[in-house]
Chains A and B, each alone.
Chain A
Amino acid sequence: MTTALRRYPVLIALCVAALFMIVPFLIVTVNAFKSPTEYAQNGPLSLPDGLYTTGIKDFWERVDFGQKLVNSVLISGSVAVLAVILSVLNAYAIGIGRIKGRTWVLAFFVLANMLPQEALVYPVYYLSKEVGLYDTRLSVIIVFTVIQAAFGTYLLSAVLGQFPREILEAARIDGANRWQVLWRIVVPVSRPTLGVLLVFFFIWTWNEFLLPLVMLISNDNQTVSVALGVLQGQRLMDATMTNAAALLGVLPAIVFFLVFQRTLTRGIAVGAVK
């Protein structure tokens, strides 16, 4: 069979391509554990002699990485929860309540979702200074809650629009009011989609760069992404430090990826075509 002969080359080609995708991660991991002298002598492509962790420790302390992690978790976590709640409230009115003019309302949310942050960044910066929220984590939480909820509303309205009407009718006949229907029936039934949104919002907010860069000036408030981006932009790091920075930046992403692999791919399928 010719196919059997041709089968493996294709697989090998795909594996090589996949390897190319993950090589940067591997190189970073290998080099993060080298001492500066070792790096200078053997270059980036050799395997480390031992586990040199001083570089990572130094970097951790120098940028107060623990604080940055706390900030990122706090901001991303709050945004994920609040944006899901806001999306549920909006989508309940649009998808299930079928309020008048819902097409326009939905179009508005889609537009809000498409708007580039560049068109909001200066006014947000200016207005937050006016109301005394500039350089606070709260300001970033508020802005991203709304931005993420735009996408959430759009997706959830489509999902809730197909919610089985019989269940809603039954609950109404049982005398449940709208508030009870929302929290006792709609939310539990839509839990898978809400879980997907929660994960998405968390990771998206974690990765955000432009607005947090503008809004979070002081070191104590910065997120991981901003702190690392600013450091890199200053061009003050030597090779070993850059590696430590890269490794510490990559690790949380890998953790999310492994934990949420399933949710993510399922979620992408949900959001892809609607």
Chain B
Amino acid sequence: MTVTVERNARAVGKSNAQKPPRGPRDSYALFLLPGALAFLAVIVLPFVMNTYVSFTDWQGVGSPEWSGLANYRELMDDSEFWASFRHSLFMVVAMAAIPTALGLVLAAALFDYVGKHFGSRTAAVLRACFYLPQVLPIAVAGIVWSWILAPDDGSLNALLKAIGLGSWQQDWLGDPDLALYSVMGVMIWVQLGFPLVIFMAGLQRVDPQLYEAAELDGAGWWRRFWHITLPQIRPEIYVVLTWCSIAALKVFGAVYVLTKGGPGGATDVPSYFSFTTFFEKTQVGYGAAISTVLTVLILALSLIGLRLQERTDP
């Protein structure tokens, strides 16, 4: 390959050398053409259409009828809508707040403790165990957990019975007071590996001398964690919090597979709410309004996240 290039170079070298060293920059834009067209067709057009439809009354057939802000007004009075967003907050706790906090402690323990005293292999194996749920399709995670949490012959109830706590048995996913917490538990399990892996990667950047110096000064593990680990991987913490909060707002598969938003709407989330509005109630305009609100929230979160990241950049 290079040989031909070189031979070509000798042939055209002279004429080339006289050219200005840079060609017109804009011809690079040709490389962007396929991507730009594909994005227009698959993302921009549908998104614009969805936004437009959210201001109309439409059942998915015929032509949409302009209704202005009617859908949004209706949303404001819709208790189902408010409930679904309230449940989203629970999801943010389960998928962003708790995994980030646990992930930090675990990452620091694996890196600064297990890695040092028991070798990096042990740390890597443990890290792999925590990360495993992350590669599972959410539908499969849902199947596994609905089976574990089943009321009659589920493993969790069987286990409680086996250790003499039979009175603690619950209908984990069927009880309206419990279902949301059960889904939260599953989501913590699903999500925990992500912050852990990112934080452990981030800790590789930290100068080991910092830890050594602190140890010589007699700082215990906890103080090293608080004064070195946390400040050093602040950028990663912001990335993870932003990324996971967005993921939490988009939860769909888990709810679909575990509870279908039930019982009695106890685990309904915006994504699932818009899905049923689109495809079961065929109130397309209303569904589009729900997903538009969700989009605005997610973009706002992304901007806040990017801002925080910028502030931490040295």
Decide if B39 touches A120 in the complex (CB within 8 Å). no
Q: Does B73 contact A (CB under 8 A)?
A: no
CB-CB under 8 A from B133, the residues of chain A are 21
Decide if B291 touches A116 in the complex (CB within 8 Å). yes
Q: Does B168 contact A (CB under 8 A)?
A: no
Cross-interface CB contact of B294 among A27, A119, A153, cutoff 8 Å: A119
CB-CB under 8 A from B23, the residues of chain A are 178
Decide if B9 touches A175 in the complex (CB within 8 Å). yes
Q: Name which of B75-83, B89-97, B274-282 contacts chain A.
A: B274-282
Q: Does B181 contact A (CB under 8 A)?
A: no
How many A residues have CB within 8 A of the partner chain? 100
> Closest approach, in angstroms, between the C-beta of B118 and any C-beta of chain A?
6
> Closest approach, in angstroms, between the C-beta of B81 and any C-beta of chain A?
14
Interface residues of A (CB under 8 A from B): 7, 10-11, 14-15, 17-19, 21-22, 24-25, 27-28, 39-40, 43-45, 86, 89-90, 92-94, 96-100, 105, 108-112, 114-124, 126-127, 142-143, 145-147, 149-150, 153, 169, 171-176, 178, 180, 182, 184, 203, 206-207, 209-210, 213-214, 224-226, 228-229, 232-233, 239, 242-243, 245-246, 249-250, 253-254, 256-257, 261, 264-265, 268-269, 272-273
Decide if B253 touches A209 in the complex (CB within 8 Å). yes
With both beta carbons as reference points, the residue of chain B lying nearest to A6 in the complex is identified as: B221
Excluding A122-B288, A126-B60, A175-B5, 5 further A-B contacts by CB distance (< 8 Å) are A126-B49, A175-B9, A209-B256, A232-B143, A250-B136
CB 8 Å contact bits of B250-285 with A (1 = contact, 0 = none): 101100110010000000001100110011000010
Interface of A is mostly: helix
Q: How far is the CA of A114 from the CA of B29 in the complex (A)?
A: 24
Q: Does B298 contact A (CB under 8 A)?
A: yes
> Closest approach, in angstroms, between the C-beta of B188 and any C-beta of chain A?
10
Q: Name which of B124-132, B206-214, B223-231 contacts chain A.
A: B124-132
With both beta carbons as reference points, the residue of chain A lying nearest to B259 in the complex is identified as: A233
Decide if B126 touches A44 in the complex (CB within 8 Å). no
Decide if A229 touches B139 in the complex (CB within 8 Å). yes
Interface of B is mostly: helix
CB-CB under 8 A from A206, the residues of chain B are 137
Decide if A120 touches B35 in the complex (CB within 8 Å). no
CB-CB under 8 A from B43, the residues of chain A are 112, 115, 120, 146-147, 150
Interface residues of B (CB under 8 A from A): 1-2, 5-6, 8-9, 11-13, 16-17, 21, 23, 25-32, 34-35, 38-39, 41-43, 45-47, 49-51, 53, 60, 106, 109-110, 113-114, 117-118, 122, 126-133, 135-140, 142-148, 150, 153-155, 158-159, 162, 189, 192-193, 197-198, 201-202, 204, 235-236, 239, 246, 249-250, 252-253, 256-257, 260, 270-271, 274-275, 278-279, 284, 287-288, 290-292, 294-295, 298-299, 302, 309
> Closest approach, in angstroms, between the C-beta of A127 and any C-beta of chain B?
7
> Closest approach, in angstroms, between the C-beta of B9 and any C-beta of chain A?
4
Q: How far is the CA of A43 from the CA of B12 in the complex (A)?
A: 79
- 12 A-B Cβ contacts within 8 A? A40-B153, A45-B155, A89-B31, A92-B28, A118-B250, A118-B294, A119-B46, A119-B291, A127-B46, A207-B138, A269-B204, A272-B201
> Closest approach, in angstroms, between the C-beta of A189 and any C-beta of chain B?
13
**3 shortest interchain CB distances as A-B pairs:** A97-B28, A229-B139, A249-B140
